[in-house]
Amino acid sequence: MKTVLLIGLGRFGKHIARKLYELRHEVLAVDTDEERVNEVLPYVTSAQIGDSTNQEFLESLGIKNFDVCIVAIGDDFQSSLETASLLHELGAKRVIARASRGVQAKFLLRNGADEVVYPEKQLASWTALRCTSDHIIDYVELDDGYAIAELEVPDEWIGKTILTLDVRKRYGLTILAIRRDGKLNMSITADTVMSGDTSVLVLGTEKAIQKCSNK
Residue 197 pLDDT more than 90? no
Domain layout of the chain by residue ranges: 3-117, 122-213
pLDDT class for 73, splitting at 50, 70, 90?
very high
Backbone angles phi, psi at 98, to 5 degrees: -90, 140
SS (H, E, C) the chain: CCEEEEECCCHHHHHHHHHHHHCCCEEEEEECCHHHHHHHHHHCCEEEECCCCCHHHHHHCCHHHCCEEEECCCCCHHHHHHHHHHHHHCCCCCEEEECCCHHHHHHHHHCCCCEEECHHHHHHHHHHHHHHCCCEEEEEECCCCEEEEEEECCHHHCCCEHHHHCHHHHHCCEEEEEEECCEEECCCCCCCECCCCEEEEEEEEHHHHHHHHCC
pLDDT class for 134, splitting at 50, 70, 90?
low
CATH number 3.40.50.720 given to 3-117: yes
The verdict on pTM exceeding 0.75 is no
Is 206 in contact with 172 (CB distance < 8 Å)?
Answer: no
Please give the CATH superfamily to which domain 122-213 belongs: Regulator of K+ conductance, C-terminal domain (3.30.70.1450)
Most confident range (mean pLDDT) of 30-34, 135-139, 204-208 is: 30-34
- Distance between CA atoms of 199 and 201, rounded to whole angstroms? 7
Residue 153 pLDDT more than 70? yes
Q: What percent of the chain lies above the pLDDT cut of 70?
A: 90
